[in-house]
């Protein structure tokens, strides 16, 4: 696959590559995640028609703080470190995410710069979902897009509750 092909993970991350597998295999991968816990098999197979499977090596930057890009991930294998720069420019680890967890979801709904940097701690495999894919899903399968949005909101709510609990410990 050449570096200029449209299936690159992101224009700014040249180290990613698409893994070509069929709908059934992608559905099996998604079915094993927490993300799909409320979906039946038909919904899972419909959803994965809009997702790509991607791999990135250890140390790859998935996205960078301050950059505007519109895509999210569901981690299938591997670990991702979320880093944020403090006022002095030092990188601080704010989270470690693993299989079944999503990241970058806010970029599907706003065009704001990323609030943190995501780095692959070791080689990772992800399901990759672009804003363009979500928009296409919304047009082609509106009920499914509502279900996907509902799942994203549920998981964001869980993350916010955990973050609020940690923040309360520091106050």
Q: Is the pLDDT of residue 13 over 50?
A: no
d(CA 57, CA 60): 6
d(CA 125, CA 101): 12
CATH number for position 123: 2.60.120.10
Q: Is residue 6 part of a domain?
A: no
**How many structural domains comprise the chain?**
1
Q: Is residue 35 part of a domain?
A: yes
Domain that residue 143 falls in: 17-170
pLDDT tens digits, one per residue of 99-152: 989 998 988 888 888 989 999 999 999 999 999 999 999 999 999 999 998 888
Q: Is the pLDDT of residue 39 over 80?
A: yes
Helix/strand/coil for 69: coil
> What's the DSSP call for residue 110?
-
Q: Is residue 2 part of a domain?
A: no
Q: Is residue 5 part of a domain?
A: no
Q: Is residue 8 part of a domain?
A: no
| Sequential DSSP letters for 14-45 | TT-EEE---HHHHHHHHHTSGGGTT--HHHHH
pLDDT tens digits, one per residue of 74-91: 999 999 999 998 888 889
Q: Is residue 72 part of a domain?
A: yes
Q: Is residue 148 part of a domain?
A: yes
User: In the sheet that 71-77 helps form, which strands lie side by side, from edge to edge?
Assistant: 17-19, 52-56, 124-130, 71-77, 102-103
**CA distances (Å), origin 73, targets 90, 164, 169, 170:** 25, 23, 29, 29
- What mean pLDDT is predicted for residues 54-62? 93
Q: CA angle at residue 77 from 158 to 119, to 5 degrees? A: 75
User: Angle formed by the axes of helices 131-140 and 142-170, to 10°?
Assistant: 140
Q: Is residue 165 part of a domain?
A: yes
E strands within the chain? 17-19, 52-56, 61-63, 71-77, 80-85, 91-97, 102-103, 117-120, 124-130
């Amino acid at each position: 696959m050449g570096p200029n092909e449209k299936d690159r993970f992101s224009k700014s991350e040249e180290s990613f590559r698409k893994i070509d597998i069929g709908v059934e295999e992608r559905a099996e991968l998604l079915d094993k995640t927490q993300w799909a816990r409320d979906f039946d098999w038909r919904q899972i197979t419909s959803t994965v028609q809009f997702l790509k499977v991607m791999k990135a090596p250890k140390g790859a930057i998935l996205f960078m703080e301050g950059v505007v890009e519109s895509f999210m991930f569901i981690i299938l294998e591997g670990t991702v470190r979320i880093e944020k720069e403090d006022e002095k420019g030092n990188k601080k680890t704010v989270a470690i995410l693993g299989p079944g967890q999503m990241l970058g979801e806010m970029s599907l709904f706003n065009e704001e710069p990323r609030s943190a940097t995501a780095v692959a701690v070791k080689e990772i495999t992800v399901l990759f979902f672009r804003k363009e894919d979500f928009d296409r899903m919304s047009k082609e399968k509106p009920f499914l897009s509502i279900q996907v949005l509902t799942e994203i909101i549920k998981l964001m709510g869980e993350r916010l509750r955990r973050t609020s609990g940690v923040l309360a410990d520091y106050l």
